[in-house]
Amino acid sequence: MGLPAGLPQPGCRAAILGVPFDCGTHPFRVGARQGPLEVRRESRLIRRYHPSLADVDVLSLLGAVDAGDVALVPGRIDDAFVRIEAAAARIVKTGAVPIGIGGDGSVSLPLMRAAARKHKGLVALHIDSHTDAYPYTPDDRYNAATQFTNAAQEGLVDASSSWHIGVRGFTYCSGVLEHTRGLGFRVITIEDLLRRGFAQTVAEFSDTVAGRPVYLCWDMDVFDPSVAPGVCTPAWGGLTAREGIELLRSLSGLNIVAMDFNTVSPPQDVNGMAAQLCSHMIMEALVLLAANLGLLPD
Amino acid sequence: MGLPAGLPQPGCRAAILGVPFDCGTHPFRVGARQGPLEVRRESRLIRRYHPSLADVDVLSLLGAVDAGDVALVPGRIDDAFVRIEAAAARIVKTGAVPIGIGGDGSVSLPLMRAAARKHKGLVALHIDSHTDAYPYTPDDRYNAATQFTNAAQEGLVDASSSWHIGVRGFTYCSGVLEHTRGLGFRVITIEDLLRRGFAQTVAEFSDTVAGRPVYLCWDMDVFDPSVAPGVCTPAWGGLTAREGIELLRSLSGLNIVAMDFNTVSPPQDVNGMAAQLCSHMIMEALVLLAANLGLLPD
Amino acid sequence: MGLPAGLPQPGCRAAILGVPFDCGTHPFRVGARQGPLEVRRESRLIRRYHPSLADVDVLSLLGAVDAGDVALVPGRIDDAFVRIEAAAARIVKTGAVPIGIGGDGSVSLPLMRAAARKHKGLVALHIDSHTDAYPYTPDDRYNAATQFTNAAQEGLVDASSSWHIGVRGFTYCSGVLEHTRGLGFRVITIEDLLRRGFAQTVAEFSDTVAGRPVYLCWDMDVFDPSVAPGVCTPAWGGLTAREGIELLRSLSGLNIVAMDFNTVSPPQDVNGMAAQLCSHMIMEALVLLAANLGLLPD
Amino acid sequence: MGLPAGLPQPGCRAAILGVPFDCGTHPFRVGARQGPLEVRRESRLIRRYHPSLADVDVLSLLGAVDAGDVALVPGRIDDAFVRIEAAAARIVKTGAVPIGIGGDGSVSLPLMRAAARKHKGLVALHIDSHTDAYPYTPDDRYNAATQFTNAAQEGLVDASSSWHIGVRGFTYCSGVLEHTRGLGFRVITIEDLLRRGFAQTVAEFSDTVAGRPVYLCWDMDVFDPSVAPGVCTPAWGGLTAREGIELLRSLSGLNIVAMDFNTVSPPQDVNGMAAQLCSHMIMEALVLLAANLGLLPD
Amino acid sequence: MGLPAGLPQPGCRAAILGVPFDCGTHPFRVGARQGPLEVRRESRLIRRYHPSLADVDVLSLLGAVDAGDVALVPGRIDDAFVRIEAAAARIVKTGAVPIGIGGDGSVSLPLMRAAARKHKGLVALHIDSHTDAYPYTPDDRYNAATQFTNAAQEGLVDASSSWHIGVRGFTYCSGVLEHTRGLGFRVITIEDLLRRGFAQTVAEFSDTVAGRPVYLCWDMDVFDPSVAPGVCTPAWGGLTAREGIELLRSLSGLNIVAMDFNTVSPPQDVNGMAAQLCSHMIMEALVLLAANLGLLPD
Amino acid sequence: MGLPAGLPQPGCRAAILGVPFDCGTHPFRVGARQGPLEVRRESRLIRRYHPSLADVDVLSLLGAVDAGDVALVPGRIDDAFVRIEAAAARIVKTGAVPIGIGGDGSVSLPLMRAAARKHKGLVALHIDSHTDAYPYTPDDRYNAATQFTNAAQEGLVDASSSWHIGVRGFTYCSGVLEHTRGLGFRVITIEDLLRRGFAQTVAEFSDTVAGRPVYLCWDMDVFDPSVAPGVCTPAWGGLTAREGIELLRSLSGLNIVAMDFNTVSPPQDVNGMAAQLCSHMIMEALVLLAANLGLLPD
C-alpha cells in the first residue's frame, strides 16, 4: 500500500504488523508463514481513494504505518508467541490500532494478549468458517484451532459477549459447537448469517457489545475457496467477495481496538488471489476504522 | 477420506468406485480419466463431522468403503463399459449404494446399467448443465453426450419421471431440448431452477418419483467455471458452491440407490479446485444418504 | 468460434476485430495486448446453438466474420490509435457491427472514433468497475483511464445520455465521480445497480437513449476477480458470471452499432478464465445482436 | 514461423503438416494431440536468419508452406491413419518434403507409408530414447511403441539400413533390443552415441545409407526431461538442447525426403518449453534441408 | 513403481520407507514432508526393465516392497526421530535394505541410527551440495544441516572413511569445511569431482571403505536447480541428470546396507520434475543393489 | 541478499541498482521491468560465505548496498534513460561499482553512459546470445537490440577492444555480424567459445584490454532456456549454469568498473528460475569484484 515503514509515531492511528508464523505441523498445507510477504506484495494493487465511501486519502488521515514483520522462527510456537505479543504490545501502547497480517489462526492468541493488556473488557468478533475454540490436549495446547479456547480461559476476551460468525462445514471431531458455547461464546453459522442478513446480525452484536473495545479477527477462509483458494482449511460454501465486503462495512460504529487478518497461505493460493483479497479487506478495514474514529469528512 | 479399501462387507451401505475413463476423443480437453486419482487426493482435506448437520462419524455409520478403481483402458469404450458395469454390479449386489467417481459423463451409462439390474422402476435425477440426451449416429453411439439417450432407449430408467436440472448455455447442435423431451425426460433449465427455488423444484420431483429408486447423476459442470474450472465442457453462469450444496441437501427423503459424480477433468483444473469440491460434494452426499437411511441420531 | 476470416462482405452484420494493444506503462500488470490471441484461443470452446435463447446458427444468420488483428506495435499509442480507427472504420463502412477485442481499455477511444464517423448522436453504454473518465495531463492524454474523457471532449458520444454502469472500488485519485459527471456522464455504481436491479436500470437507460445508436463498451473487470482474474485492475466485489450474462441479455432492444470487450490480460489470467468468459460474452452479444436485428425466428 | 498457409505449389521444397493425434489410451499422460497447436504457437519466437549458418531467408528459399492440420479425431486410430497418410501423400506428390508435427510417435507410421509410396529403398533414421519397435498383440497393433515394428514388417523402410539413435532408460517389457534388432534395425544407445561422438556416428550411418532416401523421425523425448518436460514418456539422462542441435546439424549431406518431430505433449509441458524447442529444431531442420538441397549461398 | 505394500518378508532385499518429515522452520521453503507422496506419485512413470543394464524384472528379483510412510507429525523433531528410527529398524532387522524417501536432510540421522544398530563400522557416502556437517547450538541440535555432525559425534558412522561428494556453492556461515573435516570427514567439492572424474573418485572411496557397510545418502540438491528445482536449498552449478545417473552407476561393488534419497520439496518443484527424477534415481539404485547382490543374470 | 538500503557511503565498493524498465513494445514477451523485483525476491536464497572461493562475509568486505530502483515509467524510453543514467552516475561518482539489475537489454545504454562519464577508455565485455549491435531506423533508435550500436557511435566504449561473447541462434534480419563488426566489435560465437575454452578466450580478451576499465554486461539469455526460461528472447543451445559460473569466475583480474545483469523477464519465467540464477550470478560477481579489488584474505 506504500505505507511508511516504522513504528507508530504520535498521531498514528493504525499500524500494520506482519506475523510470518504458522505452527508448521500440517502434513500438506503449511505455508501461512508467507502470508505477510504475499499480502504486502499484492497490496501494490491497492489504491487510496474510494469515490463513494471515502474520497480522501484515508491512509494519510490515519497516519498509518507498516511496522514490519515480527522476527521469529516459524514452527517454534512458544518463542514466537512471546515475540508476537511483544511486537503488538509496542503498537498498542502508542494508541494505534494494530492490524496483524497472519500467519495461521494461532497468531490471534498473542495478538489478543497484547490487546487485552491495555483494553479491559475486550470482546472478540471472530469472522471465520471455524470457531477455533476446540478442546486441546496438554501437549498440544497451542495450534490454529484453539486460540479462542485459550483466549477465553485466559480471560483475554469476554466470551459471553464474543461472537463467531460464518461457521460452516465439516470438522475433525464432534462436539465443537458445544465446546465453543461451553466457553461462553455465541456461534452464528453461515446459514444463520444469511437468513438474518448481515446488517441485522451485526446490529445484534453491536447491542451486546455496548461500546466495549472489540478485537476483530478475520480468518480469510470465511470466503469461499473459489474466491480465496490460498487458505489452510478450505471450506466450500463460503462468502463471495461482495458479501465479505458488505459484512465488513456493516461493522460501522464498533470500537475496534485491534484486528488481524489471518490464514492466507500462499503455497496453496492461485495467482495471489487470497493475498490480493486480503489486502483489499485490510484497506476496507482502514476505511472503516477512519469512519469509526470520525476522521472522514461528511 | 481415509475410507477402508475393499469391497462392501455386510452392513456396508455405501461404496466409492473410481471410474478412470474418458472417451479420449476431445481435441483439447481430455483427461477426466484422472478424476478419481485427483478427487481421492483432494479428499485428504475432508473431515468427518458436521456440527449442525451430523455431528457423528457418518462414514463409520454407513460402513463406507473405497472399492478402488475399475481396471480399464481409457479410450476403449466397449471394453471399458463392460468392466465398469461389472464392477458396479458387484457393489449393487451387496446392497451398498455405489458412488461412482468419473471419468467423463459417459460412465453414467454402465453405472445405470448395473443399478437397473437390481432396481426396477429406476428414475434418474441428472444435475448438469447439459442433458446428455443428444441424438447419435450409429458409429458414435457412446460418448459423453448420449448416456441418457441410451439409458432411455435401453429402458434403464423411466424417462417420464426422470429430470435434468441445471441445463444452460450453448451447445453444438440444434434441437437438443426437443430430443431430450422426445425421450420422455423433463428439463429444468438453470433459469427455471432459480426462479422456482431449489426446495420447490425438488419437492415437485419428489412427488413425481413417489418413493421409487433414484439414480443421482451429478455432473460437476453444473457449477460455474469459476468454482469448478476442471471440467470437460465449462458453461458460464452456473451454480456457486453454496447453491450446489443447498441443492444437494434439498434431496432429503429420496430413495437414492446409486449415484455418480462425474466430469472432473484434472488437466483443466486449477489447483485441484474442481476435484476438491467434488470430494466435498461426495461427503455431503454421504451425509444425505445416512439421513435418508435413518442412520443419523435425532 | 470458427468464424470465416476476412473483411465483411455484403450481408455481413458483425465482424470481430482484434486489437492487440496496451499502453505498456503499467509497472507490473502489462499484457492486455495478448487479449485477442487468448480470447480467440478460448473461443474453441464456444458452440453455436442456445436451446432456449436461439436454437439456430446465429453466426451464420449474422454472416459474422473475423477480420483479424489490427497491425500495430503495442506501446506506441499515437500510431496505434490511427491504425485501430482505420481498421474499425473499414468495418463500420460496410454496415457490419464491429466487435473489438482488446487490448486495454484505451482501445475504445479509436474504436469510438470510427463508430462516430458514421453514427451521429452516438451514445455510450460503458459496463466497467471504473469510469475511465479521469482527468489527464497534457503529456499523458491517452491511457486506459481517460478514453471516456476524450470521447466526451471530442464529441464522439453524447455524454449526457451515456452511462457508466458497475463502478466500484478504490481508485488512484480523488474526485473521479465529480470529473465524470462534470463531463455529462451518468454513473451507476454497482451498489446502485444491484439495488435497482438489472432490468430496471437498463430500462431507464433505454428510455434515455430513445433509439439512438449505442456503443457498448464492456470492460471485463466488471466481473469479480474470482471470475475473471486476468484483467489489468482487479476490483473485488464484482459481478458473477451469471449476473454479467443477465445484464448483457437485458440489453435487448437497443440499437447497438459497435462494441468492444476489453481488458483481458492473459499474463495475469488463471487457466484462461477471463479469456474464456470474454469469448462467452461475445457469443452472448452476437445472440443479442441477432435478436435486436430481428434475425431470430420467433 | 509465419509461413504462408496452403498446399505446396511448384517450387516449394518443404511443407509443415500438423498431426493432432494421439492414441488416447495412456492413463495419465495423454495430450500429444495438442502438439501442433502449441508448436505453432511457440514458433512465434522463431526468427529467420542465422548469422553463421545461413544468413539468408531460408524459409523463402525453400518456398516453405504450412499445410495445416490433418482433420481427424484423436483416439480413432484406423480412421486417423488413413487421413494422415492421405494428407502427407498430397505433399509428397508435389515433391516437397513433408515435415510432420506430432502427435504421439504412432503418427510416424502413416507418414512413412506416404513417403514410401514415392521413395523406394527408404531408410529410417530414428532419434529417440525408445526404439518404438516393440512387439504387439493382434488387438493392439498400432500404438506409440510399435510404429517401427509395423514399418519394418510392411517393408516401408529398409530396416537393415535404418538406425535408432539415443536409446536409453527403462522400459515396460524385456527383450526390446532383441526384438528391434530381430527386425533388422541397428540400435545406438545414448551411451554408444556419446562414446563415439555425434560426427562419427552419423558418418557411419551415412556410409550405410549411401545416398538412399531417408525418413528422419525425431522424438522429442530424446532430450532430457529438464529440457523438454512436455513429452509422453520422459527418460532422464537425455540430450541437452546444445547436443540435440549439434546432432541435427551433423546430418548434413543426407537425402532426407520426409521427416517428423513428434511427442510434444503440451499438458505435461512447462511454460511451452518442449514445444518451443521443437519449433527451434524444425527451423534447424529447414536450414539443414536447404543446405542439403544446395540452396544456401556459399 | 507398483511395489507390493507391506513390511519385508523373508527373501525381501529392499524396502521403500517414506519419511514425510521436515523441520518446518524454514521461512519460505518448507514442504519436503510431501516428498514421499510426490515421489510415489511420479513413480507411476517408472518401468521395470532396462535393456542394457538389467533386462529382467529387478523389483521382483529383489522382492522389493513399499513399507509405507512413517506415522509422524512434521515439525515435531524429537518425537518424529524416534518413530523414524523405529520404522527403519524394523526393516533393517529383516535383512532388507531400507530405502528412505525424505523428507528434508535431517531424516538421515534417525535412518543412520537404525542402520548403525546392526551394521558395525558403518561408513557414509553423502552425495550432496552441502556437507550437512555444520556446527549447532544446544537448542538447535537437530536440523537439516547437522545430521552428519550428529552422526559423527554419536559414532553412527566412521567419519574418517566417510565422504561428502558434490559440495558447492554459498553457505550461511564460515568455516563449514573446516568443521566438517574436523569431524573426520573427507570433502570432495564438485570441482574436485569433475576434475578427477566419477570413476576415479569412487574408486578411491571404494579403496578406503574396503568392503565395510555403506550408508548411501543422496540429497537431490546435488543436481542443478534446472534439473531438480523442487529442493530445499537450490545451488546452481550442479549435476545434470546424466551425470547423476553415471555417478550412481559408478557405485558398483559397494556394500550398501541402507540408503535414502532426500530433500525433494514438492511446493518448490516444477511439474514434479525433482520428484520424478528422484523416483528414477531410486529405480537406478535398485538395479545397482541387485547387481551388487549378484542377483542379475550375466 | 539482505543488503542495507541506501546510497553508497564512503568505503562502499559496490551498489545494486534496480532498473525496472523494458521498452514495452514486444507483442508477447514483455515484462523485464519486473526483473529487479523478482531478482531481489529470489535473493532471499543467497547466502554469504563460499567455503572454497571466499569463506568470509564478502558483502560486508565490499560494504555493498542496495540503492533501490530507478523511479521511471516503463515504456517511456527517453525519459527513463535520463533517469537511469542519473541514478547510476550518482553511484559511479562515489567510486562504488554500480551493479544494474535489468530490465531489458536496452538499460545497458544509459548505464554505460554513466560509467563512461568517469571512466575514460571504457571497454565492454558483453556476454549474450545476441550482439545487440543491430542497425536501427531513426524512429526506433533505442530498443533492446541497439544498445551497443549506440554505445559505439556515442563513443561510450572502445568498440575495437570490446567483445561480444556467446552469440548464437537465429535473428530477425541478415547481416547482423557484419554490422556488429563494422562498428569495431569482436564477436565470439558460442561455438567459438566452447572450442577455445573459457580460460583461453578470456585470457585473449584480458590481453586486449590491458588493464583498462571494463563494463561487464551480462544478458541472462546467454544461458540455455532450460536453465533460465524467463528471458525476453530465448535461444536454445546456451550455457548451463555451471558453464556460466565458470565463465564468470574466469574474469579474474579484470578492472570491472560497472556491470549489469539484464533480461530476466518474470512473466516468462518458471518458478523464478531465471531470477534465482541471476541473483546467484550477482553474488558470484560480488565475490569476483572483491577478489579483483584484493579484498579477500589469501
Q: State the first-to-last Cα distance of chain B, in angstroms, to the nearest integer.
A: 25
Q: What pLDDT, in 10s, does the model give residues F17-61? A: 999 999 999 999 999 999 999 999 999 999 999 999 999 999 999
Q: Indicate the residue of F52, F57, F273 with minimum beta-carbon distance to E225.
A: F273
State whether F23 and C75 contact (CB < 8 Å).
yes
Looking at the 3D structure of chain D, how many domains does it have?
Answer: 1
In this prediction, residue F1 has a pLDDT band, given cuts at 50, 70 and 90, of confident
At least 3 CB pairs under 8 A between chains D and F: yes
In this prediction, residue F14 has a pLDDT band, given cuts at 50, 70 and 90, of very high
- How far lies F3's CA from each of A68, A71, D95, D241, F292, in Å? 17, 17, 64, 36, 21
* Region B269-287 average pLDDT: 98
Given a contact cutoff of 8 angstroms between Cβ atoms, the answer to whether A218 and A288 are in contact is no
- List E residues 18-57 in contact with D (Cβ-Cβ < 8 A): 44-52, 55-57
pLDDT at residue number F298: 77
Q: What percent of chain B has pLDDT over 70?
A: 100
Residue D9 in any domain: the answer is: no
* Region D66-73 average pLDDT: 98
State whether F34 and C28 contact (CB < 8 Å).
yes
* Region E265-291 average pLDDT: 98
pLDDT at residue number B174: 96
Say whether pLDDT at E1 is over 90.
no
At least 3 CB pairs under 8 A between chains E and C: no
State whether B37 and D28 contact (CB < 8 Å).
yes
pLDDT at residue number A298: 77
Given a contact cutoff of 8 angstroms between Cβ atoms, the answer to whether F225 and D241 are in contact is yes
For chain C, say whether A242 makes contact (Cβ under 8 Å).
yes
Say whether pLDDT at D1 is over 90.
no
Cβ contacts of A33 on chain E, cutoff 8 Å: 27-28, 30
Q: What pLDDT, in 10s, does the model give residues B115-158? A: 999 999 999 999 999 999 999 999 899 999 999 999 999 999 99
Q: Which residues contact C294 (CB under 8 A, 6 or more apart)?
A: none
* Region D124-146 average pLDDT: 96
Residue C8 in any domain: the answer is: no
State whether A55 and C174 contact (CB < 8 Å).
yes
Name the residue of chain F whose CA is nearest to D274's CA: F226
pLDDT at residue number E2: 87
Question: Mutual orientation of helices B108-118 and B77-94 as an angle, nearest 10°?
Answer: 40
Cβ contacts of B24 on chain D, cutoff 8 Å: 24-25, 30, 74-75
In this prediction, residue D298 has a pLDDT band, given cuts at 50, 70 and 90, of confident
* Region F88-97 average pLDDT: 98
Say whether pLDDT at F2 is over 90.
no
Q: What percent of chain A has pLDDT over 70?
A: 100
For all residues of chain C together, what is the average pLDDT? Answer: 97
Q: What is the CATH number of the domain that holds C41?
A: 3.40.800.10
pLDDT at residue number B101: 98
Residue F2 in any domain: the answer is: no
For all residues of chain D together, what is the average pLDDT? Answer: 97
Return d(Cα E83, Cα F297) in angstroms, integer: 46
Cis peptide preceding F103, ω within 30 of 0? yes
Helix (H) or strand (E) run with residue D68 in it: strand D65-69
Question: Minimal CA–CA distance to F226: which of D241, B227, C181?
Answer: D241
Say whether pLDDT at B230 is over 90.
yes
In this prediction, residue F227 has a pLDDT band, given cuts at 50, 70 and 90, of very high
For chain E, say whether F276 makes contact (Cβ under 8 Å).
yes
State whether C55 and B189 contact (CB < 8 Å).
no
State yes or no: ipTM above 0.90. Answer: yes
Q: What percent of chain C has pLDDT over 90?
A: 98
Q: What pLDDT, in 10s, does the model give residues D243-279? A: 999 999 999 999 999 999 999 999 999 999 999 999 9
Return d(Cα F275, Cα F229) in angstroms, integer: 10
* Region C129-135 average pLDDT: 97
Cβ contacts of F222 on chain D, cutoff 8 Å: none
Say whether pLDDT at F268 is over 90.
yes
Return d(Cα E119, Cα E115) in angstroms, integer: 6
pLDDT at residue number A292: 96
pLDDT at residue number D2: 87
Residue E160 in any domain: the answer is: yes
Q: Which residues contact B145 (CB under 8 A, 6 or more apart)?
A: B105, B130, B132, B134, B136
Count of helix runs (H) and strand runs (E) in chain B: 10, 8
Q: Indicate the residue of C55, C245, C273 with minimum beta-carbon distance to B225.
A: C273
Say whether pLDDT at D110 is over 90.
yes
Phi, psi at B60, each rounded to 5°: -70, -40
- List B residues 118-147 in contact with D (Cβ-Cβ < 8 A): none
Q: What percent of chain F has pLDDT over 90?
A: 98
> For residue A208, how many other CB atoms are within 10 A of its CB?
15
Return d(Cα F17, Cα F98) in angstroms, integer: 7
For chain F, say whether D273 makes contact (Cβ under 8 Å).
yes
Residue B129 in any domain: the answer is: yes
In this prediction, residue B298 has a pLDDT band, given cuts at 50, 70 and 90, of confident
Residue E297 in any domain: the answer is: no
Q: What pLDDT, in 10s, does the model give residues C234-280? A: 999 999 999 999 999 999 999 999 999 999 999 999 999 999 999 99
Return d(Cα F256, Cα E194) in angstroms, integer: 29
State whether E75 and A73 contact (CB < 8 Å).
no
Phi, psi at F116, each rounded to 5°: -70, -25
* Region A49-76 average pLDDT: 96
**D186 DSSP β-pair partners:** D163
* Region C66-71 average pLDDT: 98
Return d(Cα C270, Cα C227) in angstroms, integer: 10
Say whether pLDDT at A232 is over 90.
yes
Return d(Cα C251, Cα C201) in angstroms, integer: 10
Return d(Cα A14, Cα A94) in angstroms, integer: 10
Say whether pLDDT at C298 is over 80.
no
Residue F8 in any domain: the answer is: no
Nearest Cα of chain A lies from the Cα of B122 at a distance, in angstroms, of 31
For all residues of chain F together, what is the average pLDDT? Answer: 97
* Region D137-163 average pLDDT: 97
**B187 DSSP β-pair partners:** B164
Cβ contacts of B73 on chain D, cutoff 8 Å: 25, 27
Q: What pLDDT, in 10s, does the model give residues A191-231? A: 999 999 999 999 999 999 989 999 999 999 999 999 999 99
Say whether pLDDT at A297 is over 80.
yes
Q: What percent of chain A has pLDDT over 90?
A: 98
Q: What pLDDT, in 10s, does the model give residues C180-230? A: 999 999 999 999 999 999 999 999 999 999 999 999 999 999 999 999 999
Tell me which chains share at least 3 CB pairs under 8 Å with chain A.
Answer: B, C, E
List the alpha helices (DSSP H) in chain A: 35-42, 58-62, 77-94, 108-118, 147-153, 176-182, 190-196, 198-209, 241-249, 273-292
- How far lies A271's CA from each of B228, C268, E282, E288, in Å? 16, 8, 34, 43
- How far lies E15's CA from each of A11, C124, E257, in Å? 66, 71, 11
Cβ contacts of A41 on chain C, cutoff 8 Å: none
What range defines the domain where residue B124 resides? 14-292
Q: What pLDDT, in 10s, does the model give residues A129-178? A: 999 999 999 989 999 999 999 999 999 999 999 999 999 999 999 999 99
Residue C76 C-beta-side C-alpha neighbours within 13 Å: 14
Tell me which chains share at least 3 CB pairs under 8 Å with chain E.
Answer: A, D, F
Q: Indicate the residue of C45, C47, C55 with minimum beta-carbon distance to B175.
A: C55
Say whether pLDDT at F250 is over 80.
yes
Say whether pLDDT at F236 is over 80.
yes
In this prediction, residue B283 has a pLDDT band, given cuts at 50, 70 and 90, of very high
Q: What pLDDT, in 10s, does the model give residues F141-199? A: 999 999 999 999 999 999 999 999 999 999 999 999 999 999 999 999 999 999 999 99
Residue D2 in any domain: the answer is: no
In this prediction, residue C30 has a pLDDT band, given cuts at 50, 70 and 90, of very high
